[in-house]
A and B are shown apart, each in its own frame.
Chain A
Amino acid sequence: MNKNINFELLANELDDLKRQTLSEVGATDAAYIRKVIVWQRALEWGGRVLLMLGFIHPLCWVVGVLSLASAKILDNMEIGHNVLHGQYDWMNDPHINSRQFDWDIACDGKSWQRIHNYEHHTYTNVIGKDRDFGYGLLRLSNDFAWRVKNLWQFITYVNLSMLFQWGVSYHELAAERVFMGKKKQDRSSKVDASELKRRFFSKGGKQLIKDYLLFPLLAGPLFLWVICGNLIANLIRNLWTSTIIFCGHFTTDVHTFSQAECENETQGQWYYRQALGSSNILGGKLFHIFTGHLSFQIEHHLFPDLPSSRYQQVAPQVVAIFARHGIAYHTGPFLRQYSQVVKRILRYSLP
């Protein structure tokens, strides 16, 4: 850790920014998330209907797939991810809060809250504590010893991206080695193994039944059109979310931290670690919405429960604060960020 930074001042400035922004949060933010939900529903049902109209013109089917995929992306990113972070809990709305909400992906929302909200956001990029770093599959820094399987880790990465929702869902289970019974010594879990298994199968099962049985059956003779459409929509969503998330965490300059470094961390040091553990992606308004504002990964990591609708607004002030303290603010256009991710995966596939 850089010792020349005035961590106390940094913490005060960022705390103030958060407090100031939170005090402005209100009707516009509520209207915003409601509007996104309306769009999500409209795209989902427009898409499902169009999928069944493929026999009129194949273009209907294509538009249907894209529409359904966009709905799934919105549900996963701008709605699900942010609502599950508790960003909209202040609304007191029974349908939009982190306690009850669950999303349209294979991972049980509660499991994700444990692994992502808690582990990843508390121990961001702390090797051995943040299981999101490489998802237990990829070697993305020198902190891990090289193994032969890393040689073909680019293929592993492509597979992980395609099956991303299942990767996320399996995340909590795998780390607990539930199926193999090889529980790691230092991992304690609040949820016992059988409960984890039950959740995994029940949520995943529901998702499979919905997309690959029920909706296709409803389409009757168009069974295959719908099944393929749903499969492709899920695939598009998986690739998109995985890509955005990798761009937020595994670009060239992203730092990792050792457990010893983070002992007795102050609030300022925690902020500092969040700043160096993430990177942003430049883009337009719509792009930000479809990334669930994870294109503002830095702001999200600094203030994980600030409503996503505010990240664009706080970003310039975060840039200014970082500049004053001499902290790097990593951002860049999508292609540049993504090529850095690919380079990183390839680089660490070799010893």
Chain B
Amino acid sequence: MNLLTRLNKVTAKTLFHTESLGSYFEPLIQRVKPAWRAHWFRAQVLSVKPLRDDVLQLELAPQKSWPQAKAGQHVLLTVELNGRLMTRPFSISSSPEQHHAQYPKTRVIRLTIKHNADGAFTSGLSRHITAGCYVNLSAPQGDFVLGESVVDLPETPLWFVAAGSGITPFMAMLHQLALSIKRSVLQSSSPIQLIYFAKAGEHLYVDELTALAQQIPQLSVKMLVRKNGDSLAAALQECPAASQVLICGPGKFKQDVDCQLDAINHPPQHRQAEYFQAPVLPQTDNGHQHIQLTQRGKQTQLILATNDTLLNGLELQGISANFGCRIGVCHQCQCVKKTGVVRNLRTGELSQQGEQLIQLCISQAVSPLELEL
């Protein structure tokens, strides 16, 4: 931390009990610059477009200071939906240098957002977010990126293996490759293979992929449907052991791909993968639930009875959480739920999937949970 940030922090803590001067003055600054927010990058929404019933595409213009993303990285998107800030990670599906015809001067990023079981976020997006409004972005993160290998080892064949909305990071990478070819940075002619599984009629960006295949001569695209008899085994059969394989899709899909690749002796160190469902802890039957607990940086795995409150459950396991009234009044037992769904016993309401403050004494686990005490 440099001196200035330190000074900012200490002053803000001592004088205003806030994290930084920025967060203290934020409400005032926003009067003048409505887009401004402390500790977040801001991006203006250029368009919100449904690609399909359950897939939404956002085009965003991030503020200048937002660090350029590498193709394949994701961002945490935070939006205010009905007064509540909600955050979800999304892969960027446009290349870092991509410009859009409509907005030639602005750097634009594109996010492809699929409805999932927890529809609150996506349905909220389509209802509350319109062109012109502002959303919050994290810095780009993740190392699921086109390795230096593409540049250093032009002889390595590339295999992209996607399922469903797992296509998003590959769209960014392919656009990136197309640009490099146009600028003659990439001369390699080693083959690039895209294997893309989806349900019949649900492949995304079909036209764009066709266009890309024309711009990248060595690219061949296979759009497959498992129900129609296309199998992973057949699709991966030809994959050379020397190729770099990038996999993106649900966790289960990643496992299947790994299995197939192992079977044809493709070395695991030549694989990169990203699965968008956070590794979900298994659901146990007979009324128990897995909990992953972080306490002062230390992680513990627990199994708690679901008909008990979290506070009681934790105490039975010998974990002492802070508490006061035990009837939901005082908020002493507040803790951060990172992922998972809890039921509020006072209101009967189910929580959202994502990060949220919950009261242990009146919450029950409905799904596996990640908690931070």
Interface majority SS on A: helix, strand, loop or mixed? helix
Instruction: Write out, one digit per residue, whether chain B residues 8-27 have a CB within 8 A of any chain A CB (1) or not (0).
Output: 00000011111100011111
**Interface pair B84/A26, CB less than 8 Å apart:** yes
Central interface residue in A89, A95, A122, A210, by most chain B CB within 10 Å: A95
Chain B residues in 8 Å Cβ range of A98: 331, 334, 357
Q: How large is the interface on B (under 10, 10 to 19, 20 to 34, 35 or more residues)?
A: 35 or more
Q: Which one, B238-246, B293-301, B319-327, is touching chain A?
A: B319-327
Is residue A22 within 8 Å, beta carbon to beta carbon, of the partner chain? Answer: yes
Is B31 close to A, CB under 8 A? yes
CB proximity to B under 8 Å, residues A93-129:
93-95, 97-104, 109, 113-114, 117-119, 121-122
Return chain B residues, CB-CB under 8 Å to A113.
330-332
- Verify if A92 is at the interface (C-beta below 8 Å from B): yes
**A224: interface (CB < 8 Å):** no
Contact of A25 among B83, B329, B331, B348 (CB under 8 A): B83
Contacting pair B334 A86 (CB below 8 A): yes
B356 CB–A CB distance under 8 Å: yes
A residues within 8 A CB of B183? Answer: none
The interface on chain A, measured as residues whose beta carbon lies within 8 A of the other chain's beta carbons, has a size of: 51
| Per-residue interface assignment for chain B, residues 344 to 363, with 1 indicating a CB less than 8 Å from any chain A CB and 0 otherwise | 00111000000111010000
Q: Is B80 an interface residue (CB 8 A)?
A: yes
- Nearest CB on B from A97, distance (A): 6
- Asked whether, in the complex, the Cβ of B329 is within 8 Å of the Cβ of A121, the reply is yes
Binds B, one of A37-45, A153-161, A310-318: A37-45
**Interface residue stretch chosen among A27-35, A235-243, A246-254:** A27-35
Picked from B82, B330, B357, the residue with its CB within 8 Å of the CB of A89 is: B357
> In the complex, how many angstroms separate the beta carbon of A141 from the nearest chain B beta carbon?
23
Q: Report the bound CA distance from A97 to B358 in whole Å.
A: 12
User: Is A206 interfacial (CB 8 A cutoff)?
Assistant: yes
User: How far is B159's CA from A42's CA once the two chains are assembled, in angstroms?
Assistant: 58
Q: Which B residues lie within 8 Å of A93 (CB)?
A: 85
Most chain A beta-carbon neighbours within 10 Å: one of B38, B87, B325, B336? B325
Residue of B nearest to A303 (CB): B329
Contacts of A28 in B (CB 8 A): 83
B28 at the interface (CB under 8 A from A): yes
Partner of B329, one of A92, A102, A304: A304
Residues of B within 8 A of A86 (CB): 331, 334, 357, 359
A85→B331 contact, CB < 8 A? yes
Interface residues of B in 160-178 (CB under 8 A from A): none
Within 8 A of A (CB), among B67-125: 80, 82-87
Query: Measured between alpha carbons, how far is A114 from B322 in the docked complex, in Å?
Result: 10
Q: Is B6 an interface residue (CB 8 A)?
A: no
Contact of B28 with A117 in the complex, beta carbons under 8 Å: no
Q: Mark B234-260, 1 if CB is under 8 A from A, else 0.
A: 000000000000000000000000000
Question: Looking at the complex, which one of B19, B86, B325 makes contact with A92 (CB distance below 8 Å)?
Answer: B86
**A101 — nearest CB in chain B belongs to which residue?**
B17
Known A-B contacts A86-B331, A95-B26; the reply to A210 vs B83 at CB < 8 A is no
B-binding residues in A (CB < 8 A): 15, 18-19, 22, 25-31, 34, 37-38, 41-42, 45, 85-86, 89-95, 97-104, 109, 113-114, 117-119, 121-122, 190, 206, 209-210, 214, 267, 270, 304-305
Q: List 29 A-B contacts (CB under 8 A).
A: A15-B346, A18-B346, A18-B347, A19-B348, A26-B82, A26-B84, A30-B80, A38-B31, A42-B28, A86-B331, A86-B334, A89-B331, A89-B357, A90-B83, A91-B83, A91-B84, A93-B85, A95-B18, A100-B19, A101-B17, A104-B17, A113-B330, A113-B332, A119-B324, A209-B14, A210-B15, A304-B329, A305-B329, A305-B331
Question: Given A41-B27, A92-B85, 11 more contacts at CB 8 Å?
Answer: A19-B348, A26-B83, A38-B28, A38-B30, A92-B87, A94-B23, A95-B19, A104-B16, A118-B329, A122-B325, A270-B327
